[in-house]
Amino acid sequence: MPSPPAVGADRPITATYRLQLRAGGLDLTRAVAAVDYIAALGASHLYLSPVLAAVPDSAHGYDVVDPTRVDPALGGEAALRELAAAAHARGVGLVLDVVPHHQAAHPANPAWWELLATGRHGRQAATFDVDWDPPLPGAAGKVVLPMLGAPLGEVAAAGGLAVEGDALVAHDAHRVPLAAGSPGAQRGWSALLAAQHYRLCHWRIGDAVVNYRRFLAVDELAAVRVERPEVFDHVMGLVASLVAEGVADGLRVDHIDGLAEPGAFCARLRHAVGDGAWLLAEKILTADEAWPQGWPVAGGTGYDFLADALGLFVDPGAEGVFTELAREAHAWPADPSTMAHGAKREVVDTLLAADRDRVARALHRACAGDLAAADVTVDQTRAMVRETIAAVGVYRAYAVPGQPCPPVSARRIDAAVAAAAARVTAVPEGAWRVLAACCIASTGWWPWPRWAPSPSDSVRPPPPSTSATPSGPGTSPPAC
């Protein structure tokens, strides 16, 4: 991993001090009082939690509602500039935490509110990643919102729905907009709900039916399509200008592996902030995984270093004793890797069930174009997707449709598909070849002839292969 570059001749980065900001607590104005103390400790830079406008009373700031404003509840942009000036006066730089992957699915988010009000033909349909053809009855062309405390019919019958102005209110708590021209409630709830651009449902079925991409399995955090230039400019414009102007000296990019094209994002961000800014990307590396080549960033946020440092206090020779103790206490299987594989399968089949099924349907359509795979069923493609994801040993691969797949990613994909094929029997061999082709998502580089597509193949790549590895907002350790 490359060494972090100096950020200005007078402010080389040597140590960061993280400040968790919160409205009503340590806000941007109160942080100014801490600058002298932090400078005296020897920290070269303040590393701030996200400062953009977030959900009211947010505990962490990763639930952004408006990326075009510094959160007024934290003091606003004026207070941020004041803090930056005070820090720079003491020779201390400023690093901002930015969240390009998702925004809060919340009434305070104008983009999300507009999406629900205008639907698939509105301008915000290109901002969020929505599957407009979900299998849930009554949800075609709509956003599925698993926010009800009971099934929809029961909530309506019990008086749990109400109209207040231009909004529909459920359980006196959840507000969603009414589409223009909606019939009045006096026409009946069926008519009113049918006219909306969303489909309300019980939260308990959410993981199985939700049709917008989320941060992991968090319904309240909806992923945005930052790979689109206009979305990038909207999401990153303010923070990029603050860095380019010199108010901030660098950025820590949250959840980089959740983006469709992390490398392209980093390149676009580097262009926006200039060569002198310090850019870090939050990425989880496995023991044998190298940092992706070509990303114009200084490195990661220290997870790999933290694992190595903690490893100094662990005796590898004791692993056998503790594994046996765990087996006896918790009835673990004989092989810990078997338990890990089962846990991954459980995550895919529960928390990520809707995502699994979406990819399985895409794979089923892709197989229809290949005679050797045409007889595969959706149940089989679902099992194929489940086992392939469970076999991926890294957070994700880096295949981009239409571009040559990096050899290391292609090897990992091939190994995962081969491992899955050994577990799932009675599937046409051609279907496995189509799956590998979809994951590799390349039109001219097929390193393993056994997976090479025939000219008649119709390959529709699903999203990049992703493992069931967790992370979470507000859970990341400070940057190292």
Q: H or E element: which one contains 164? A: strand 161-164
Whether the CB-CB separation of 147 and 212 falls below 8 Å is answered with no
Beta-sheet pairing, 16-19 with 250-253: unpaired
DSSP state of 424: S
Residues 6+ apart with CB under 8 A from 227: 259, 260, 261, 264, 265
Alpha-carbon span 347 to 470, nearest angstrom: 10
Q: Which residue has the tokens 């969603």?
A: 176
Q: How many residues are recorded in the chain? A: 480
Q: Which residue has the tokens 């190994």?
A: 415
Count of alpha carbons within 13 angstroms of residue 271, beta-carbon side? 9
192: nearest Cα among 222, 208, 207, 170: 170
- Please report, for residues 112, 215, 473, the alpha-carbon distance to residue 221 in angstroms, rounded to integers and kept in the order given: 11, 6, 10
Residues 335-370 as b/e (b if ≥16 CB within 10 A, e otherwise) read eeeeeebeebbebbbebbbbbbbbbbbbbbebbebb
Alpha-carbon span 329 to 185, nearest angstrom: 57
**Structural Rg of the chain based on CA atoms:** 24
Which domains are present in the chain? Answer: 16-101+226-308 (3.20.20.80), 110-214 (3.30.1590.10), 343-451 (no CATH)
Alpha-carbon span 278 to 479, nearest angstrom: 12
Alpha-carbon span 222 to 125, nearest angstrom: 12
Whether the CB-CB separation of 248 and 81 falls below 8 Å is answered with no
Alpha-carbon span 457 to 446, nearest angstrom: 14
Query: pLDDT tens, position by position, for the chain (480 residues)?
Result: 444 444 554 678 899 999 999 999 999 999 999 999 999 999 999 999 999 999 999 999 999 999 999 999 999 999 999 999 999 999 999 999 999 999 999 999 999 999 999 999 999 999 999 999 999 999 999 999 999 999 999 999 999 999 999 999 998 889 999 999 999 877 889 999 999 999 999 999 999 999 999 999 999 999 999 999 999 999 999 999 999 999 999 999 999 999 999 999 999 999 999 999 999 999 998 878 889 989 999 999 988 889 889 999 999 999 889 888 888 888 777 778 888 999 999 999 999 999 999 999 999 999 998 999 999 999 999 999 999 999 998 988 888 877 788 889 999 999 999 999 999 989 999 999 999 988 886 433 333 333 333 333 333 333 344 455 545 433 332 222
